């Protein structure tokens, strides 16, 4: 499980480099990634990428954006159309 979490963390860091310094935690029971932001500017950047996050087809059902000063924000996977 550690390798999966590391792979997903590296993928997200490369796919969304503007997120900066965030911590990732994976819950395998719910296929959820928790993204902990260290400042509110990073949270805003992640929220701006919500559509792209929702369309990722990587086996993750929910992305939960966590910041201590704001309520948690859940971005659910929305499958794209098959061509």
Q: What pLDDT, on a 0 to 100 scale, did the predictor assign at position 83?
A: 47
- Give the CA diameter of the chain: 41
Tell me whether residue 38 is in a domain: yes
Separation between Cα atoms, residue 9 and residue 79, nearest integer Å: 21
Tell me whether residue 61 is in a domain: yes
Domains held by the chain: number: 1
Tell me whether residue 82 is in a domain: no
Separation between Cα atoms, residue 5 and residue 25, nearest integer Å: 7
Tell me whether residue 81 is in a domain: no
Q: Which domain range does residue 8 map to?
A: 2-76
pLDDT tens per residue, range 36-82: 988 889 999 999 999 999 999 988 999 999 999 999 999 999 876 54
Tell me whether residue 17 is in a domain: yes
Tell me whether residue 40 is in a domain: yes
């Amino acid at each position: 499980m550690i390798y999966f979490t590391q792979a997903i963390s590296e993928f997200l860091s490369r796919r969304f480099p503007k997120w900066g310094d965030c911590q990732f935690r994976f819950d395998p029971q719910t296929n959820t990634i928790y993204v902990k932001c260290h400042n509110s500017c990073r949270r805003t950047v992640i929220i701006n990428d919500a559509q792209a996050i929702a369309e990722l087809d990587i086996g993750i059902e929910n992305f939960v954006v966590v910041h201590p000063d704001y309520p948690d924000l859940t971005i659910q996977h929305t499958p794209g159309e098959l061509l």
